[in-house]
Structure 1
Amino acid sequence: MKKFVKILIAFLLVLVAATVGASFYFFHVAQVREDKSFISKKPTPKSSPIYQDEKDFLTLSKQTLTLENDDLTLKAWYVPAETKTDKTVIVVHGFNGSKEKMTAYGMMFHKLGYNVLMPDNRAHGDSEGTLIGYGVTDKRDLIKWTNKLIKADPKTDITYFGLSMGAATVMLASGEKLPENVHNIIEDCGYSSVWGELTYQAKEMYGLPKFPLLYEVSAISKIRAGFSYGEAGASSVKALEHNKLPVLFIHGSADDFVPTKMVYQNYAATKGPKELFIVKGAKHAQALEKDKSGYYAKVTAFLKNNSF
C-alpha cells in the first residue's frame, strides 16, 4: 500500500510539473511578443480589391506621434484629411499585427474625409512592450490616444474602429467612462471575451480542454500582465453592457478563428443603437476584401446616421 501511495504521489508530481511547464509554454505562445507561426505573413496579392488601397495609403503624408503610458513608449501614424475637418478615426490593429497591416482600413476612412490615427499596440510594431494585452491593457492606451487628440483639437469628433483584437479593444473601451468626443464605434470580427477566444483556440489548435491548462495560463497572465482571462475587464460582452454609444458590428460568416457566434453575443449585449453586418463567406478579418463595396456602403451609412 505504501509503495502504491509513493507511486501515486510521484505520478501526480510529474503530472503537475508537466502541466505547469505546458502552461508557461502556452503563455509564451499567447502573450509574449514574437512572430506567431499561426498568423499569416503573406502579402496582399495584386489581384485583391484592397491591394491598391494599401499602396495608396502608404504614399500619403504621415506624422509619427508618440505616447507614454505605463512606462512604455507607443508610436502611431497620423494622416490628416485632405480637407480640414474635426472628424477623426482611431484605427486599432489585431493580434500580432501593426499599423502597416491596417492601411486598407486607413485608406477607407481617408476617402470618407476623416483624419486617421493608426497606433501600434503595446508589444506590436514600433511600440514598446513585451506582453500582448488582448485589448485589456490596450484599451488604456486607446483612451490615452483619445485624450491626446482632444488636447490637440477639443472639438474633435472621434470614431473608434478595431479589427480582431483591435475590435475587442474598442469594445472593451466602450465599458469605460469615455470622453464625450467619442461618438461611435465600429468593430470587425472581435471576440466576446478573452476567456472564450482562448478556450476556443486551445481546442481548435491543440485539441486541449480548458481545464487545467487555461486556468494555469490565466493565472500566469494575472501575475505577469496584470489580468486574468476570465475577469470582467477581459469580456467584451460585460463592457458592452455598459455602452450606450452606437456600434456597427461586422463579422464574416465563415470566420473560424473568432467564431461568428461571438458577434451575436456582442450585438445582444450593447445598450446603445446598433447595426449588424455579416459578410457571407468571409473568413477572419477578410470581410473588407470579400465585399469591399458592401463594406464601404455599410460603414458610410452608419457614420452618416450616427454623426454628431
Structure 2
Amino acid sequence: MVGRYFYKLAIARNDKAQLAGALSSGETKEPIPESVKNTLKNQTHMRDAFIEQNSPEDVFLVSNDRLKLHAYRFYTHADSHKWVIPLHGYTNQGSDMFFFVAMFAQHGFNALVPDLRGAGKSEGDYIGMGWDDRLDIVAWINSIVDLDPAAKIVVYGISMGAATAMMTAGENLPENVAAIVEDCGYTSVADEFSYELHNLYSLPAFPVLPLADKAIRGKAGFSIYQASSVEQLKKAKVPMLFIHGEKDTYVPTEMVYKVYEAAPVDKELLIVKGAPHASSSFVNPKLYFSKIFDFVEKHLPEKKSIGR
C-alpha cells in the first residue's frame, strides 16, 4: 500500500497538485527582491518575443520501449552547426525551457527541446526521473546528428533535467556532443526521494524507500537505487559545467559536490550565492549566463560555417 501510494504521488503521470502543495509548504518563504522580479519580467518578455518570431516545429521519435516522444525544434540559424538540447524539470514540460532557447539563440544555437516521457506531448504513464530519459536523450542526440552530421551539441538541464543530463553523460555518446551543463541536479533518485521524505513528511528512508522501489520497479521497470547520476558520471567523457544555488532546499546544495567529484572530465563548478532551487538564472543572470557561455564557447571554438 505504501509503495503504490508513493508511486502514484511521485512517479505516475497525473495531477501533482498534492505534491506541489507539499513542496511549497516545505519551502523557506522569503520576499522576492525587486531586482529578481524585474529579471523574471524581462526574461518572460524576451521569451514571448522570441516565440512570436520563431515558431517551433513539432518533431517525434519512438523510444526503445515504443513510446511516441515529442520535441520542439527551433531551426533559427541555418548557417550554424551549434545545437542545444534544453531539458526541463520535474512536473514541467519542454515549453517551460523556451526562454533558455532564446538565450542560446543569441549565441548562434539551434535547439531541440524534448518533452521528457510522461510530460507534455510525449507518451508515458510515469515520470522517468532522468533514468529512462537518458536513453531517450541519446536518441534525440542521434536525430540531430542525422539532420546535421557536423552538429556540435550542448546538453543543458535544470533540476530533473539536470539529473537527466548527468545520467546521459554516462552513455556512449557521439563525438558531436561537445559539452554538458547541469543546474541543480540530484545525486540519485533514491537520495532525492530519501531527502524529500524527511524534509516534507518527516518519514524515514527505511522502510518507505524499499517499498516505493518495489512499486516503481513493478510499474515503471527501473529501480530508484540504480538511477544514479553519480554512477553514470563515473563513465562520463564530455566536458561538464555544474551549477547549484547556495540556498537550494529541494535538491540540497551538498549534492553538487558529490556529482562534481564523480566526473573524470574537464569540468567547472559554479555556486550561485543566495539562489534557491532552479533560480540561479534569475537571481544572478549575468554571472549565470556568462559562466555558461564562457564554458560552452571554450569547447565550441567559433569556426566559419560551411553551410548545408
Q: What amino acid maps onto 1:227 in structure 2? A: F
Q: Of 180, 199, 202, which aligns to 2:197?
A: 202
Corresponding residue of 1:61: 55
Q: What amino acid maps onto 2:289 in structure 1? A: Y
Corresponding residue of 1:149: 144
Q: Of 66, 75, 91, which aligns to 1:96?
A: 91
Q: Give the deviation of 1:35 after TM superposition.
A: 2.7
Q: Give the deviation of 1:168 after TM superposition.
A: 0.5
Q: Is the 8 A contact 1:252 1:284 kept in 2?
A: yes
Distance 2:124 2:220 in 1: 11
Q: Of 220, 223, 230, which aligns to 2:218?
A: 223
Q: Is the 8 A contact 1:158 1:181 kept in 2?
A: yes
Q: Give the deviation of 1:46 after TM superposition.
A: 6.7
Distance 1:291 1:47 in 2: 9
Corresponding residue of 2:11: 31
Go from structure 1 to structure 2 and tell me whether the alpha carbon gap of 1:113 and 1:39 turns closer, same or farther (over 3 Å shift): farther
Q: Of 124, 130, 136, which aligns to 1:135?
A: 130
Distance 1:292 1:52 in 2: 15
Q: Give the deviation of 1:39 after TM superposition.
A: 3.5
Corresponding residue of 2:2: 22
Corresponding residue of 2:153: 158
Q: Of 116, 120, 123, which aligns to 1:121?
A: 116
Distance 1:277 1:142 in 2: 24
Distance 2:294 2:151 in 1: 20
- Partner of 1:32: helix, strand, or coil? coil
Corresponding residue of 1:14: none
Q: Is the 8 A contact 2:39 2:282 kept in 1?
A: no
Q: Give the deviation of 1:31 after TM superposition.
A: 0.5
Q: Which moved more, 1:46-55 or 1:158-167?
A: 46-55
1:90-124 CA deviation, whole Å, 9 max, x = no partner?
Answer: 11111111111111211111111100110100100
Corresponding residue of 1:8: none
Q: Over aligned residue pairs, what C-alpha RMSD do you find?
A: 1.8
Q: Is the 8 A contact 2:167 2:229 kept in 1?
A: yes
TM score, norm. by length of structure 1: 0.89
Distance 2:39 2:160 in 1: 27
1:12-58 CA deviation, whole Å, 9 max, x = no partner?
Answer: xxxxxxxxx12211111110012322448x9x967624222221232
Distance 2:293 2:13 in 1: 35
Distance 1:53 1:288 in 2: 14
Distance 1:56 1:139 in 2: 31
Q: Is the 8 A contact 2:150 2:176 kept in 1?
A: yes
- Partner of 1:208: helix, strand, or coil? coil
Corresponding residue of 2:234: 241
- Partner of 1:125: helix, strand, or coil? coil
Corresponding residue of 2:207: 212
Matched, 1:170 2:165: yes
Higher CA-based Rg:
1
Corresponding residue of 1:52: 45
Q: Give the deviation of 1:180 after TM superposition.
A: 1.4
Distance 2:14 2:150 in 1: 39
Corresponding residue pairs, total: 285
Q: Give the deviation of 1:294 after TM superposition.
A: 1.1
Q: Is the 8 A contact 1:63 1:78 kept in 2?
A: yes
Q: Is the 8 A contact 2:2 2:211 kept in 1?
A: no
Corresponding residue of 1:108: 103
* Bigger RCO of structures 1 and 2 (CA < 8 A, at least 6 apart): 2
Distance 1:123 1:45 in 2: 31
Distance 1:293 1:159 in 2: 20
Corresponding residue of 1:305: 298
Distance 2:267 2:170 in 1: 15
- Partner of 2:108: helix, strand, or coil? coil
Distance 2:39 2:270 in 1: 25
Q: Is the 8 A contact 1:201 1:257 kept in 2?
A: yes
Unaligned residue ranges in structure 2 (runs of 5+): 25-35, 302-308
Distance 2:15 2:87 in 1: 19
Q: Give the deviation of 1:228 after TM superposition.
A: 0.9
Distance 1:88 1:53 in 2: 20
Q: Is the 8 A contact 1:248 1:275 kept in 2?
A: yes
- Partner of 2:293: helix, strand, or coil? helix
